Amino acid sequence: MFEYSHRNTDNLLDFVRLFDIVEDLVFLMGVQGDQIFYEYINQAAKNLTALSEEVIGKSIGEVVRNKAEAAALNGQYLDVAYTKKSINFTHTISNGTKFYTGDTTLYPLLDTDGECRFILGIVKDVTEKHALEQKLKETEELFRIITENTTDVIRIIDPNGVIRYSSPSCEITDGFSAEYYVGKHFSEVIDERDRLHIKQQFETLINKKKSMTVELRHVNRDGHYTWKEVVATPIFQGDQVMNVVTSSRDITERVEYREKLSQMAFYDHLSGLPNRRLLEDRLEMAISQSERTNKKIGLLFLDGRDFKSINDRFGHEMGDEVIVATARILERCLRKVDTVGRLGGDEFVVVLPDITEDEDIFIVVNRIANAFSDPLNMNGTHIDFKFDIGVAIYPTHATEKKAFLKCADQALYKAKINQDTVFQLFDGDCRIDMQQDDPVC
């Protein structure tokens, strides 16, 4: 708690003038009986509220036009004066033309006799959602007063990466007390998958002396991790970085939502397999790799035989279950480097990169065919389901993506005509009109 002598308020005024450089709105209010008077407002408050030095010495009731709002605000300050405890609340601020939302904390300033004659009000403009640590450039003591009243976890880290201060909110968010973190290297509480990258980012911040924002997995007391967004800001003495102030908040829900959107964009919703868009990326990557390594690529087009009869006989719900079961079987037939994707319905595509011999492709094709040689057991219901398979090989049959896809498509067409064979290998000419759409991608 900041203390001052009631016989000499110069030290108090010197203290509040530090707020002239702060972007948050700062008000120093005097307490006289049941009235609250303006003693000081910083430049940020003037800019946002359109108030001026003319309000100094006036009461809240004289400055705030709305009487109900003035009475409520005056009451908030009086509560702090009587209880000598800080409070936090959110309210609307208006400059006459525009409304803002302010997250306000009121701090009682006690004199040496323990009396509350002044109250420091700090208003954070949450309308623009400025990060707290980017706005504060003053003393560590002031920094602590504010951070101890926020749910974000604020830390001070020295240039060597050692944590010197952690706000109490970490006990709520992470399970450990603030004292637990002090003296530890910041990397100790980061999931090992992110540790090296974040260390490198920290070194970059120190060397370039610029703020940065990173996302990382923070290890909690229960052993699990929480996704955090961390804003790190260097604090200077002269041109040297003396400390780094970080503000972190839980973004687990945001990351999970982002991953869900990514899943929707690149994966088939029913089977969970890569969709048409991701298949195109995987095929292009395989072709690029083939050009570097001189290895081959196998491309398989699979089309189910008479899948419509399954839907007609057993219903679409069973049909969906067959698709999901088929996807899992196909995955088990492949290597980790291979890709199987679903185009829709009962149409699937398999990309086999890094192939040395053609026979390696045929082994996979026969493995797939054998996996569907017996009927599928769908919770006691046996369903016969097989594929027609067309196969093309890069660069044997084509040397560019569109032609390669056309070759596999033509091979599938022949496989559907001659269903006595396990698969049909392309054996024709794949010269195509380059203005035509790709058969797959």
Task: Give the per-residue pLDDT at 348.
Answer: 95
Task: Give the per-residue pLDDT at 434.
Answer: 37
Tens digits of per-residue pLDDT, 32-66? 999 999 999 999 999 888 899 999 999 999 998 88
Task: Give the per-residue pLDDT at 424.
Answer: 92
> pTM score, two decimals?
0.47
Give the Cα separation of 102 and 187 in Å (integer). 35
pLDDT tens over the chain, length 441 residues: 455 555 455 566 666 667 777 788 999 999 999 999 999 999 999 988 889 999 999 999 999 888 998 999 999 999 999 999 999 998 888 887 888 888 999 999 988 888 899 999 999 888 766 434 345 445 556 656 655 666 788 889 999 999 998 888 888 888 888 899 999 999 999 999 999 999 999 999 999 989 999 999 999 888 888 999 999 999 988 888 999 999 898 888 888 888 777 777 788 889 989 998 899 999 999 999 999 999 999 999 999 988 888 888 899 999 999 999 999 999 999 999 999 999 988 999 999 999 999 999 999 999 999 999 999 999 889 999 999 999 999 999 999 999 999 999 999 999 998 878 889 999 876 554 434 444 555
Task: Give the per-residue pLDDT at 432.
Answer: 46
